[in-house]
Structure 1
Amino acid sequence: MSRFSLRARWVLPVERPAIAGGTVVVSGGRIESVGDASIAEPPLYDLGDVVLMPGLVNVHTHLEFSHLEQTLGKSGMPLPDWIRLVIASRRRSDCDPKQAIRAGLEESRRNGVTTLGEIATGTCSIVSSDEFPRQISYQEVIGFSAARIDSVVGDLEHRLFEQPATVRHASIGLSPHAPYTVHPQLLERLVDLASRQQLPMAMHLAESHEELELLATVSGPFRELLEERSMWDGNAIPPGTQPLNYLQALARAPRALVVHGNYLKPVEIEYLASRRERMSVAYCPRTHAFFRHSEYPLQQMLAAGVRVALGTDSRASNPDLSLLEEMRYLARRHTTLDPSQILEMGTLVGAEALGWEEQIGSLRPGKWADLTAVACNPQSKEPVADILSGIAAPTKTWLRGRLHQPARYEN
């Protein structure tokens, strides 16, 4: 169907106020117009008492763990101990990573997510089709020893050669995993590669107290973990290193996503704010809660002007892959945030963080018709607050103008 109209109790364009009894006209998979009932073109599908809004943007996932039925470990456990469980889980699992990724993509779509930032390990190729959300597949890179830098970069270049920079509905990025798994010289090589090939980057940074301890003192639980795995390089981290040093390296990339940033200091927050056009933060509220981290510096980041987008992380630290539930948790946890700001963080800000704001993230003519509908109270005059305080899951999801969830209209 090349052209049709959708009517809803409320339409949320994101970049302008909500429209009561609004209509979205879709043509050729893109949004043609957004307005009141007068703009409707046949055929018209009346969705009833729902909020129709842009598809959600989940900027940080590890879909290889989508087969897990419960989180790994206990809430509040130290991150290095949890990583040991992740390693053990990978060894035990007989699940095909591609099957797990497909399950994660399907779960994401069911929950109204139409775009993701996925961290792909060396064993996982891109799973992409018309049926699944679009994605940036950040190729994960690990290499803490200086002696292995050349071989790690060579392996990565081979992976990039096998997977072109653009795949249908997907793009490639680079993900140096974290300070405790990536040698600073390797990070510089990766930034150079990203700059040459114009690839976005994502890196876990300032995630835990144990990470900060390793950087500051070159000791602690992460050093013990690396020594256990024969990965330790005593010259990899000069004493007194800070997350700021990694931010300064990432700033040379075409675009960088700082994953978590739970313990960023004011100077690092200001650094990110001054480079907000190319650097963003991925905040995963329920994973943050799972590890019982200190209060997330969200208010400080937003006040400084840092671009903060939302992610679910994985089922290894989260009960599901619903970005809407992340937004609802955020609304409960940070009650001073305006609901419209939370909506932006889950849609347009996420699109900006991935560099796709001209294609997705809001309902604007010319953008892809990536949409989701969520049931709402027909008496409500505050549709955003209504869906953030509710429990209803998305009822329908469109990818590039095609209805996928469910597969047909009911009227």
Structure 2
Amino acid sequence: MQLLLPRWLIPVQPRAVLTEHALVVDGSRIVDLLPATTALARYPDAKVLHLPEHALLPGLVNLHAHSAMTLLRGYADDLALMDWLGQHIWPAEARHVSDEFVFDGTLLAIAEMIAGGTTCANDMYFHHGAVARAALAGDFRMVVGCSILEFPTAYAADADGYLRRALDAIDEFRGEALLGFTLAPHAPYTVSDATFRRVITLADELLIGIHCHIHETEDEIAGSLKEHGVRPLERLAGLGLLGSNLVAAHMVHTTDEELALLARHGVHVAHNPSSNLKLASGFARIADQLAAGINVGIGTDGAASNNKLDLFAEMRLAALLAKGHSGDAQALPAWQALEMATLNGARALGWEERIGSLEVGKEADLIAVDLSAVATQPCYDPVSQLVYSAGRSQVSHVWIAGRAVYADHRYLHLDLADVQARARRWQGRICA
């Protein structure tokens, strides 16, 4: 049993900043949250960790990632989305993506995310078993998104092949506490109606989620109008895809009617502000999405289009863009940005009863952020400091399911030298 004594305890739910309070962790779960003096008397044999200048808060949830693509970080920058994909990323993946590539790239991403306070990621890629094994090797909570396309890659020849490999991975890792799975049809422009219908049926049978890029660019919408006569979201609604098990990544270009449709069906949105800007995809109407009652979480997208997996940077950018785009300085305040990066992400994954806030009975996915640095002093409001001033380098401790994985800025289980050596080897192969 461990008793954590931070200067500020930020449970997220409820919205509060608690001082002189303690969090008690036993095994994988939070078992108590109470005044510090009472905790010390009630749990005299507990191991005590003093965090005198720290905020203790839930681990951050990265709602949209392509973890293995860390190995393509900086490979093809400053290009439009379809040029970036068609002329650079997809050809590079065709040459290099394998179980080894995906394991090594995912492990590199996990190391980056843990050090930045992210304890859970909603991934989307190929070689699903390699993603799962990397997550288990890194003691990291991962939702493995099983990518589905119509066209062939080295991983599968067609949609049937991708689906078979997805089902095999789901069976192989069934029961792993840190893992979840989704079916991840890539996008409306790469997946047929028939395949979407199969995805819906299988997701319902397996009681798992669906993860899909939707309305990322204006070109996507124009292409759908030309091919199908309707915008992508209307097409997907007609197929029956929209529901509370769907995480729609990006959703940059939306009408008022589409926002109402998303809200009515309980669709969750993964907002990726840095990637949207870097690929010139546009400005998502996040303030309007939230006002419509849509649950919006925050993602990084892949490191090849960001170029970092930094949810502190994403929180700040999301809040600033919402204000600038809406013309309302009160849009997306710090509290709401923090909720988007924690509880909203957990809710989108169907895990809000497990993670996303510091509540008794939930699993202990926690991070401690040292706010004693010059850049976060003086500290009038720790939530404001976390969103607008703090950086990921101030994360000092990370626990996932109650297990300490990072302490005093050091990895406790990952071999960082080995992770970095793997990345350098891939750089050599890709450059060659």
TM-score w.r.t. length of structure 2: 0.82
Query: Equivalents in 2 of 1:177, 1:109: separation in Å?
Result: 26
Residue of 171, 180, 184 corresponding to 1:175: 184
Q: CA 1:71–1:266 in 2, change beyond 3 Å: closer, same or farther?
A: farther
Q: How many angstroms does 1:380 deviate by?
A: 1.8
Corresponding residue SS for 1:8: strand
Q: How many angstroms does 1:68 deviate by?
A: 3.0
Give 1 or 2: higher helix fraction.
2
Residue of 304, 309, 321 corresponding to 1:321: 309
Q: CA 1:71–1:270 in 2, change beyond 3 Å: closer, same or farther?
A: farther
User: Which residue in 2 is equivalent to 1:19?
Assistant: 18
User: Which residue in 2 is equivalent to 1:86?
Assistant: 89
> Is 2:340 aligned against 1:352?
no
Q: How many angstroms does 1:151 deviate by?
A: 5.6
Query: Given residue 216 of structure 1, which amino acid in structure 2 is its aligned partner?
Result: L
Q: Which moved more, 1:339-348 or 1:100-109?
A: 100-109
User: Which residue in 2 is equivalent to 1:275?
Assistant: 265
- Where does 1:230-241 land on structure 2 (aligned, <5 Å)? 238-241=228-231
User: Which residue in 2 is equivalent to 1:31?
Assistant: 30
Corresponding residue SS for 2:303: coil
The answer to whether the Cα contact below 8 Å between 1:130 and 1:169 also exists between their aligned partners in 2 is no
Query: Equivalents in 1 of 2:201, 2:340: separation in Å?
Result: 30
Query: Equivalents in 2 of 1:178, 1:80: separation in Å?
Result: 13
- Where does 1:326-341 land on structure 2 (aligned, <5 Å)? 326-335=314-323, 336=330, 337-341=332-336
Q: How many angstroms does 1:181 deviate by?
A: 0.5
The answer to whether the Cα contact below 8 Å between 1:371 and 1:399 also exists between their aligned partners in 2 is yes
Corresponding residue SS for 2:189: coil
Q: How many angstroms does 1:179 deviate by?
A: 1.0
Q: 1:200-253 CA deviation, whole Å, 9 max, x = no partner?
A: 1011110101101111123xxxxxxxxxxxxxxxxxxx3334422214435466
The answer to whether the Cα contact below 8 Å between 2:150 and 2:158 also exists between their aligned partners in 1 is no
The answer to whether the Cα contact below 8 Å between 1:194 and 1:253 also exists between their aligned partners in 2 is no
User: Which residue in 1 is equivalent to 2:48?
Assistant: 44
> Is 2:368 aligned against 1:373?
yes
Query: Equivalents in 1 of 2:157, 2:223: separation in Å?
Result: 24
Q: How many angstroms does 1:83 deviate by?
A: 0.8
The answer to whether the Cα contact below 8 Å between 1:374 and 1:392 also exists between their aligned partners in 2 is no
User: Percent identity, aligned pairs only?
Assistant: 27
Q: Which moved more, 1:36-45 or 1:354-363?
A: 36-45
Q: CA 1:406–1:68 in 2, change beyond 3 Å: closer, same or farther?
A: farther
The answer to whether the Cα contact below 8 Å between 2:196 and 2:241 also exists between their aligned partners in 1 is no
Q: Which moved more, 1:285-294 or 1:86-95?
A: 86-95
> Is 2:383 aligned against 1:388?
no
> Is 2:274 aligned against 1:286?
yes
TM-score w.r.t. length of structure 1: 0.86
Query: Equivalents in 1 of 2:231, 2:276: separation in Å?
Result: 24
Query: Equivalents in 1 of 2:120, 2:107: separation in Å?
Result: 14
User: Which residue in 2 is equivalent to 1:233?
Assistant: none
Q: CA 1:250–1:58 in 2, change beyond 3 Å: closer, same or farther?
A: farther
Aligned pair count reads 381
Query: Given residue 28 of structure 2, which amino acid in structure 1 is its aligned partner?
Result: G
The answer to whether the Cα contact below 8 Å between 2:146 and 2:182 also exists between their aligned partners in 1 is yes
Q: How many angstroms does 1:381 deviate by?
A: 2.8
Corresponding residue SS for 1:190: helix
User: Which residue in 2 is equivalent to 1:141?
Assistant: 148
- Where does 1:47-86 land on structure 2 (aligned, <5 Å)? 47-70=51-74, 72-74=76-78, 77-84=79-86, 85-86=88-89
Q: CA 1:291–1:273 in 2, change beyond 3 Å: closer, same or farther?
A: same
Query: Equivalents in 1 of 2:260, 2:292: separation in Å?
Result: 6
User: Which residue in 1 is equivalent to 2:136?
Assistant: 129
Query: Equivalents in 2 of 1:241, 1:408: separation in Å?
Result: 47
The answer to whether the Cα contact below 8 Å between 2:102 and 2:127 also exists between their aligned partners in 1 is no
Q: How many angstroms does 1:300 deviate by?
A: 1.1
Q: 1:155-187 CA deviation, whole Å, 9 max, x = no partner?
A: 513441344244341012101110110011110
Query: Equivalents in 2 of 1:348, 1:172: separation in Å?
Result: 19
Q: CA 1:58–1:356 in 2, change beyond 3 Å: closer, same or farther?
A: same
Query: Given residue 83 of structure 2, which amino acid in structure 1 is its aligned partner?
Result: D
Query: Equivalents in 1 of 2:240, 2:9: separation in Å?
Result: 38
Residue of 205, 212, 215 corresponding to 2:214: 205
Q: CA 1:285–1:251 in 2, change beyond 3 Å: closer, same or farther?
A: same
> Is 2:283 aligned against 1:295?
yes
Residue of 3, 6, 11 corresponding to 1:5: 3
**Over the residues paired in the alignment, what is the CA RMSD in angstroms?**
2.4
Q: CA 1:312–1:243 in 2, change beyond 3 Å: closer, same or farther?
A: same
Query: Given residue 121 of structure 1, which amino acid in structure 2 is its aligned partner?
Result: F
Structure 1 runs of 4+ with >6 Å offset: none
User: Which residue in 1 is equivalent to 2:424?
Assistant: none
Q: How many angstroms does 1:124 deviate by?
A: 5.5
User: Which residue in 2 is equivalent to 1:243?
Assistant: 233
